[in-house]
Amino acid sequence: MRLSHAKHQITGAWRKLAGNEAVMPMMDDADGTGPKEQSMRFDTLIFWVHAEKSVLRERLDARVDKMLEAGLLEEVRTLDAYAEAEAAAGRPVDKTRGIWVSIGYKEFKEYMHALRNEETSEKDLEYWANTALSKTKDSTRQYAKRQIRWIRSKLINSLPASKILYLLDGTDVSTFDSAVVGPAVELTSSFLAAEPMPEPSSLSSAAAELLQPARLHYEDSAPSPEKWTKQHCEVCDVTCVVESQWGQHTGSKAHKKAVSKRRQRDREAYPGAVLGDQEVAGGQESGDANVT
């Protein structure tokens, strides 16, 4: 009975944490100096189910494949039909927010446009389908990176200096019960009974490394918010607001590799076209500048 009760409490905790996801960033300090340690309104226990980068990447890619199998394209068609109907009725939807910017919809827009064009060849359709799939997987991985960065740079720094956040290593699915479920049940039971809790960093080598707060990017020399310039890399689906961050991104190996893959796909889709000097990576918020 105690095990069943603890599992029930864990499920409730996950739901509560998910519901607080939009609230937690409010812990950031408004003066721009970074998040401040906050006192929690209630006694709190948080679990972070972690997976190593290579394993997480495979799981995220597989998740996108399952989304397609489960009817992602049909959902995109339904949304497009709704948007067209609303526009015809004089009520155009705002495609800059909500479900219209969700991962999976915006990445397949070009493919859906090509699909509706009767003059699109089978080869071009295949290209746009593969491009949309690749973009969706890239966006999903970028979103996961942002989540981890938020945990390490904001959540950890905002939590009180006490035993609240525990990392459970779910990299190996075959040991998930012993590495994640078992420890979570034991920790929850101790938490509910107000018993002494172990040091979070003692659970695994991953916990010892990742529960250390990441370095915050609030340097005295950083430009003030009014001097920020939003720049978006369409190839990697990454947005930067500080010039130094943009320089780091466009000079990174990951960006250069993504650009090279995009150009290769374009050459294969449009043989004979001059694509080597095309500009990529979007531009500033005003949209009047592209950066290679």
Q: Which helix (H) or strand (E) holds 208?
A: helix 205-210
Distance between CA atoms of 140 and 103, rounded to whole angstroms?
7
Decide: helix, strand or coil at residue 35: strand
In this model, does residue 123 exceed pLDDT 60?
Answer: yes
The encoded tokens of residue 114 equal 């090509």
pTM, entire model? 0.61
Top pLDDT among 285 and 70 is at 70
Top pLDDT among 271 and 50 is at 50
Distance between CA atoms of 145 and 213, rounded to whole angstroms?
15
46-50 and 165-169 as β-strands: parallel, antiparallel, unpaired? parallel
Distance between CA atoms of 169 and 55, rounded to whole angstroms?
12
Sign of CA dihedral 129, 133, 134, 135: positive
Among the listed residues 237, 233, 241, 239, the one whose alpha carbon sits nearest the alpha carbon of residue 292? 233
CATH homologous superfamily for 2-218? Answer: P-loop containing nucleotide triphosphate hydrolases (3.40.50.300)
Residue-wise pLDDT tens digits, 213-266: 776 544 444 455 445 566 788 888 777 766 777 888 888 888 888 888 888 887
Q: Quick one: how many helices (H) and strands (E) in the chain?
A: 11, 4
In this model, does residue 199 exceed pLDDT 70?
Answer: yes
Exposed e or buried b per residue across 98-121, where buried means at least 16 C-beta atoms within 10 angstroms of its C-beta: eeeeebbbbbbbebbebbeeeeee
Instruction: Indicate where the chain has its CATH 3.40.50.300 domain(s).
Output: 2-218
Supply the DSSP string of 71-113, one letter for each residue: THHHHHHHHHHHHHHHHHTT----TTSGGGGSTTTGGGHHHHH
Going from the C-alpha of 98 to that of each of 46, 83, 265, the distances in angstroms are 27, 13, 30
Q: Are 237 and 135 in contact (CB under 8 A)?
A: yes
In this model, does residue 61 exceed pLDDT 70?
Answer: yes
How many CB atoms are closer than 10 A to CB 197? Answer: 14
Name the burial class of residue 227, with classes exposed (0-12), middle (13-18) and buried (19+) by CB atoms within 10 angstroms of its CB.
Answer: exposed
pLDDT at position 45 is: 92
In this model, does residue 141 exceed pLDDT 60?
Answer: yes
pLDDT tier for residue 87 given thresholds of 50, 70 and 90: very high
Distance between CA atoms of 269 and 265, rounded to whole angstroms?
6
How many CB atoms are closer than 10 A to CB 65? Answer: 13
pLDDT at position 221 is: 44
Mean pLDDT of all residues in 105-110: 90
pLDDT at position 62 is: 96
Indicate the DSSP class of residue 196. -
Q: Which helix (H) or strand (E) holds 64?
A: helix 53-69
In this model, does residue 11 exceed pLDDT 90?
Answer: no
Sign of CA dihedral 50, 108, 129, 262: negative
pLDDT tier for residue 48 given thresholds of 50, 70 and 90: very high
Indicate the DSSP class of residue 224. P
Residue-wise pLDDT tens digits, 157-187: 888 767 789 999 999 999 999 999 999 999 9
165 - beta bridge partners?
46
How many CB atoms are closer than 10 A to CB 160? Answer: 11
Distance between CA atoms of 225 and 242, rounded to whole angstroms?
9
Question: Which phi and psi angles does 231 have, rounded to 5°?
Answer: -130, 135
